[in-house]
Structure 1
Amino acid sequence: MPASTTPRHQQITIDDVGTPLSEVTFVVVDLETTGGSPKDCAITEIGAVKVRGGVVVGEFQTLVDPGQEIPPYISVLTGITSTMVASAPRIAAVLPAFLEFARGAVLVAHNAPFDLGFLKAACAESGLLWPACASVDTAVLARRLLTRDEVPNCKLSTLAPYFSATTSPTHRALDDARATVDVLHGLLERLGPLGVSCLEELTGINRQVDPRRRQKRHLAAGVPEGPGVYVFRGPRDEPLYVGTSTDLRTRVRSYFSAGEQRRRMTEMVALAERVEALPCAHGLEAAVRELRLIAEHKPRYNRRSRFPERALWVRLTNEHFPRLSVVRRVRPGAGVFLGPFPDRRAAEAAVAAVHEALPLRQCTPRLSLTVLGSACALADMGRCGAPCTGAQSKEEYATVAEVFRAAVDSDPHALVAPLLARVDRLAGEARYEDAAVLRDRVAVLLRAVRRRQRLENLARVPEMALARPDGAGGWELAVVRRGRLVAASVAARGVPVRAHLAGLLATAETPAGPAGELAASVDETELVLRWMEEPGTRLVDVEGTLASRAPGIGRLAAFLARVEAGRVSTDPFADGRSLGTRARPERVAGTGARHPASGPTRGRRAASIAL
């Protein structure tokens, strides 16, 4: 073959397999809003900066009329008031201009789900199509590239001075977007020595799989499909982590993919030697078995439900002059129990609320009907009837204690009504902090009453059978005895449910424990309650009575709803993700460099994009 026609094979460059960062147009966007959720909040300002090759080529900024009042705390935070946006355009008029400004660019934001979530929701509401474009989250990049020794967290207010940003974040959209530009440039400088030089590598950084996880993919072989529980076991076959899923195979495989970014899970998978799969009939059985396994083995990498025995209860003691105490176990006949509470602070808040309403004694010694003592300071303050001195008889004291018993058993209104009146009085006297403290104590008390009544309603039922559609023409079946799941199965399509249920009842376990005491853990009983209350669940059979005590907290439900709404509004921009850096972050595996950057690089240089 002539030399002129011989094919020539050449090594392609990185520019041939990806879009060089020097040629990528980034639009860094930031929003100001009236709150934290696009469901009930709106955009008040859009700021965006367009950069290419490290050079700013355009800026976009406008106020937006949100169509609603801007809350005062938002105005304090951002400086944007309802008066300022009164003459501003509505979001439907602003979006076309912004989308044109960002056409063909890669969108960048700090905590991108927040800003892009609002923009996508606004497009959907305005009937506009959200463009299919790549996005970069500088908060995620920072968590991947920086250690806690360099920055304590990955908030924009922390990263901007670290990278010597020329603009300080001020909670105004354009200022924050300008600061994010400098943070982006600083992070891209950190990627240069790692060989990340094209857009595809940049957007794929968060999808890189840790090598220790990649090597363990074979552990997922043989895991079946369907609902169940999986147990990662260590070198001594000890349970490291217990989890549940409606699709075991997909869930277990995800631990060896880029979707799993939790550091403790990477560490756990590196220790794991095998995965044990426990198929279950349906999701309720899987969730219950997960709880029981976690409580039994207390795996080191599980954080939830490891110590159900540590739940706290408030007990009204069973004696001549009962008092309140915080205990860890419910014992039948030992008094009246309220709870459970997640921690001691919540239990003590409920006790404080009861003492605000009722003159129960707070001393700890057991009082005698014949041996009298001296009164304490609480008696002088009118907060105790001083039964220790004989000033209050056993019968008179019993009427006070009965208010608490009635509140726990059926109706808390008599206990809570004077407390709510005092909250209103404190607020009317401009003692807002005192009113808020008492309001929160009352809310803790009511939540505990509601939770206890719901648990007891189910625990009193000796046996009941439940069914719900499985989505394929069959029925998911569950047998519950005194709050405990004792049998579970699925009746396939065409199988008579009652005939199948008869065999299930015959093989169901019998819960142990004294009558009147919860046979299951609190978490298990609440799982059963939630499953019962989901749409489609039917009560097939019941032994005993399944009913709620009247009136319960029905009259006070509106108060609890207002408190919950207030808790959300106090942190309108709450982000569920952690912004802290990892102590030992998973380093980004470079394509052209063997070692990470040797140290922090500060400042902004236009050449940093041209890698």
Structure 2
Amino acid sequence: MTSQAHAPRTPRADAPSAAGVLDGFQPSFEDLGTPLREVTFVVVDLETTGTRAAESGITEIGAVKVRGGEVLGEFQSLVNPGREVPAFVARLTGITTAMVATAPPVSLVLPSFLEWARGAVLVAHNAPFDVGFLKAAAADLGYEWPGFAVVDTVPLARRVVTRDEVPNHKLSTLATFFRARVTPEHRALADARATVDVLHGLLDRLGATGVTHLEDLAGAADPVPPDVRKKRHLADGLPEAPGVYLFRGPGDEVLYVGTSTNIRKRVRSYFTAAEKRRRITEMVRIAHAVTPVVCATPLEAAVRELRLIAQHEPRYNRRSKHPERQTWVRLTDEAYPRLSVVRDVRAGTPHIGPFSSRRSAQEAVEALHDALPLRQCTLRLAAVSRSPGSPCALAGMGRCSAPCTAVGGPDTAYADVARSAALALTDDPSPVVSALAARVARLAAEERFEEAGLVTRRLRSYVQGAGRAQRLAPLAACSELVAARPTAAGGWELVVVRHARLAGTAVTRPGEDPLPVVDALRATAEVVEPPVAPAPACHPEEAALVIDWLEQPGVRLVHASQPWSVPVRSALAHADLAGVSGEVRAQITSMAPC
């Protein structure tokens, strides 16, 4: 019963840190970018009293540390599992209860192993088993798992060693196939030594397929088409900084625009199995270059992405390409106003929106019609009529005030309806929400769930459109707003917003006085022409990004040319449709037809 640990050589300064794990143990290998010859691997094997970590204990840990084909050290120790070793396990491994009776417990062995392996990439044959036991033991002892990257040689072997070459992918079979110097014998150190030779044999084969870096191993077990993997050189030389990247195709066409906090790492992931989107794989096949645009802050990167998508309309981007297709709901400016779905915003009339589709805008219109007796006809009615018109069917149903029947002067009753509609659009949506919530409850009580679901959808579209307009309008009307947010490094992230458009941004160094930077930023920021509120002077999604940033904790307003506020009784207060009871919503969801 011996316990030995050969001290490893001092790790190199450029040895990879543990940052990613296959098979669901830890984050992905995207965080690593180290050539395989520079990676320190710790090949580990365990012997245990059973197959389930919750019910079994570790009896032996064996590991070999290698880098660049050279063995740096070995670790081996019997472990007292705190229970008897089953007879069938003793026959399989040769480790008996008597052998481990005086061995150190896992509480002494595991900390030594974790410290010895720190900073390396763990390798095991059927890694979920071995790493699962190690993680369970660490959790039982109250140790934080170091977050090792893990390579499993089983799926790698299935990728590069065919069934024509071997009958199975067991360790003993692969050790024979790769002519390992040690024969696996169900003892931890011997099996770890055999796995080292198997690993090197697998890496030799993978190298011929373009797997040369640690992050390549993340996709090595899930084959990537060779023509896609060969494009990985497009990530070479890209900056490891936040910003935007543009994939370019024939004729320098912009195929796709994306954003990331680390451009090089994100672009490199497109050439691995981490990328599952069929359209994007198609895009990568025809791309021949990637153009980076480094940005000072993530907000600037997100805004630049939107602007570049709108500018180039890349065929592989699905969103934000056509801001002009955003729709609004307007209360028309005429003697007897009505609701209209429009593409643009005009001064002097109330609007809500923008809506992502004409259908959702029409649903908001129908919600307002359900609550208010606005006219729905498209006729242009004179303020003063000499003869009465013919009321429509809606008037007979009490759903229209029928201003067409007024004679000899303006219909004052309809003027009250129009004022209520204007208030519902710009100020307080409560009357509309209350009216429709009552209708939903009544329909649900009558078990007319399909109709109740329809009214609820209309109400939701109206509330969302009104909420967007009430968020946008104050910022769209503000000619200049300057805000600051502290950075993790101790400086300040500064933004200048003009009519909801990001006009300038900068980051100050720790300890630097931000006010001179603010003055310079205001002097050099983009000149923005005022829009017609609530429409912003930019893509509505850009305005939403800016507002989300401004509403983050810690943001401080440095300067605002106009007040920035929303109505006290705004539509945002009804965003969760609290007026529709939770019980009714649950009934609608569970019983309404699909």
Q: What residue in structure 2 maps to residue 382 of structure 1?
A: 398
Aligned twin of 2:321:
306
Distance in structure 1 (CA, Å) of the matches to 2:298 and 2:403: 53
Task: Specify which of 495, 504, 509 is matched with residue 487 of structure 1.
Answer: 504
Match of 2:335 in 1: 320
Displacement of 1:468 in angstroms is 1.3
Spell out the pairing of 1:196-211 with structure 2 (5 A cutoff): 198=169, 207-211=222-226
For residues 547 and 587 of structure 2, what CA distance do their matches in structure 1 show?
25
Say if 2:376 is the partner of 1:359.
no
Q: CA deviation at 1:542?
A: 1.5
Q: What's the CA shift for 1:416?
A: 2.1
Q: What is residue 349 of structure 1 aligned with on the other side?
A: 363
The residue that corresponds to 1:396 in the other structure is: 413
Tell me, in whole angstroms, the C-alpha distance in 2 between the residues paired with 1:318 and 1:515: 15
- What's the CA shift for 1:498? 0.6
Q: Is the 8 A contact 1:403 1:415 kept in 2?
A: no
Within 5 Å, which residues of 2 pair with 1:21-36? none
Contact 1:474–1:494 (CA under 8 A) maintained in structure 2: yes
Residues 295 and 567 of structure 1, relative CA distance in 2, 3 Å threshold: farther
Q: Is the 8 A contact 1:225 1:249 kept in 2?
A: yes
* Alpha-carbon distance, 1:207 to partner: 3.3
Aligned residues of 2:374 and 2:417 also touching (Cα < 8 A)? yes
| Superposed CA offset, 1:483-526 (max 9, x none) | 00000111111211111111111000111244544211110000
Contact 1:458 / 1:483 at 8 angstroms: preserved in 2?
A: yes
Displacement of 1:310 in angstroms is 0.9
What's the CA shift string for 1:136-170, capped at 9, x where partnerless? Answer: 9xxxx9xxxxxxxxxxxxxxxxxxxxxxxxxxxxx
When the two structures are aligned, how many residues end up with a matched partner?
410
Secondary structure at 1:509's aligned position in 2? Answer: coil
2:253 aligned to 214, 235, 238, which one?
A: 238
Distance 1:569 1:286, change over 3 A: farther
AA matched with 1:198: H
> Residue 217 of structure 1: SS of its match in structure 2?
helix
Confirm or deny that 1:535 pairs with 2:506: no
Where does residue 227 of structure 1 map in the other structure? 242
1:105·1:133 contact (CA, 8 Å) conserved in 2? no
Q: Which residue of 2 aligns with 1:465?
A: 482
- Aligned partners of 2:220, 2:403: CA distance in 1, in Å? 70
Rounded Cα–Cα distance in structure 2 between residues aligned with 1:513 and 1:270: 43
Q: Secondary structure at the match of 2:490?
A: coil
Letter of the 1:467 counterpart:
A
Task: State the alpha-carbon separation in 2 of the partners of residues 266 and 235 from structure 1.
Answer: 16
Amino acid at match of 2:441: D
CA displacement, residues 211-251 of structure 1 (integer Å, 9 cap, x when unaligned): 12221122112211211111111110111000111111211
**Uncovered stretches (5+) of structure 2, i.e. residues with no partner:** 1-42, 44-49, 53-124, 171-198, 203-216
SS of match in other structure, 1:215:
helix
Note if contact 2:326-2:343 (Cα within 8 Å) is conserved in structure 1.
yes
The Cα of 1:430 is off from its aligned counterpart by 2.7
Larger mean CA deviation between 435-444 and 398-407 belongs to 435-444
1:212 and 1:266 in contact (8 A); partners too: no
1:205/1:253 CA distance change after superposition, 3 Å: closer
Match of 1:552? 570
User: Who is 1:336 aligned against?
Assistant: 350
**CA–CA distance in 1 between the matches of 2:416 and 2:165?**
75
**Distance 1:485-1:315 versus aligned 2 partners, 3 A rule:** same
Distance in 2 (CA, whole Å) between partners of 1:264 and 1:511 is: 37
Structure 2 distance, partners of 1:499, 1:564, is 52
Alignment partner of 1:508 is 2:525: yes
> Structure 1 pair 324/503, CA: closer, same or farther in 2 (3 Å)?
same
1:556 positional shift: 3.0
Alignment-mate amino acid for residue 531 of structure 1: W
Contact 2:440 2:452 (C-alpha < 8 Å) held by counterparts: yes
- Paired residues of 1:107 and 1:133 also in contact (CA < 8 A): no
**2:238 & 2:151 partners in 1: Cα distance?**
35
Q: How far, CA to CA, are the matches of 2:139 and 2:308 in structure 1?
A: 44
Residue type of the partner of 2:557? Answer: L
Q: Deviations over 1:413-467 (max 9, x none)?
A: 1222122112222222332332222122212211111111111122122111111
Does the residue aligned with 1:292 lie in a helix, a strand or coil?
Answer: helix
Q: 1:331-383 deviations in whole A, cap 9, x for unaligned?
A: 223x3211111222211211111111111111112112326421111111111
Q: 1:555 to 1:227 in 2, by over 3 A?
A: closer
Matched-pair contact (CA < 8 Å) for 1:208–1:258: yes
8 A contact 2:529–2:537 mirrored in 1: yes
Corresponding position of 1:520? 538
The one-letter amino acid of 1:345's match is R
The CA deviation at 1:197 is: 5.2
Residues in 2 aligned to 1:434 and 1:106: alpha-carbon distance in whole angstroms? 54
Report if the CA contact (8 A) 1:326-1:347 is conserved. Answer: yes
Aligned-residue CA RMSD (Å): 4.1
1:445 pairs with 2:465: no
**Higher RCO, 1 or 2 (CA under 8 Å, sep at least 6)?**
1
| 1:236–1:195 CA distance, 2 compared to 1 (3 A) | farther
C-alpha deviation, 1:259, in angstroms: 1.7
- Measure the CA separation in 1 of the matches of 2:475 and 2:581: 27
Aligned-residue sequence identity (percent) comes to 47
Q: Quick one: distance in 2 between partners of 1:488 and 1:339?
A: 27
Aligned counterpart, 2:443: 426
1:406 matches 2:426: no
Contact 1:230 1:276 in 2 (8 A): yes
8 Å CA contact 1:359, 1:385 repeated in 2: yes
Question: Contact between 1:460 and 1:482, CA under 8 Å: does it hold in 2?
Answer: yes
Task: Return 5+ residue gaps in structure 1 as ranges.
Answer: 1-17, 19-24, 28-103, 109-115, 142-186, 572-611
Shift of 1:568: 13
Instruction: Please state if 1:272 is matched with 2:287.
Output: yes
Q: Which moved more, 1:559-568 or 1:526-535?
A: 559-568
* Distance in 2 (alpha carbons) for counterparts of 1:525 and 1:483: 5
Inter-partner Cα distance in structure 2 for 1:547 and 1:428: 39
In structure 2, relative to structure 1, the CA distance for the partners of 1:464 and 1:408 (3 Å cut) is same
Distance 1:204 1:306, change over 3 A: closer
Aligned partners of 1:221, 1:133: CA distance in 2, in Å? 23
Does structure 1 retain, via aligned residues, the 8 Å contact 2:352–2:426?
no
1:290 counterpart letter in structure 2: E
Q: Residues of 2 paired with 1:124 and 1:362: CA distance?
A: 66
Q: 1:408 to 1:198 in 2, by over 3 A?
A: farther
TM-score by length of 1: 0.60
Change in CA separation of 1:489 and 1:343 when aligned onto 2, cut-off 3 Å: same
Q: Does the Cα contact within 8 Å between 1:513 and 1:519 map onto a contact in 2?
A: yes
- Residue 393 of structure 1 deviates from its aligned partner by 3.8
State the AA in 1 paired with 2:288: E
Equivalent position SS for 1:512: coil
Aligned partner (choices 292, 296, 309) of residue 307 of structure 2: 292
CA distance in 2, matches of 1:562, 1:26: 52
SS in 1 for 2:228: helix
| Cα 1:261/1:195, change in 2 over 3 Å | farther
SS in 2 for 1:314: strand
Report if aligned partners of 2:309, 2:317 keep a CA contact under 8 Å in 1: yes
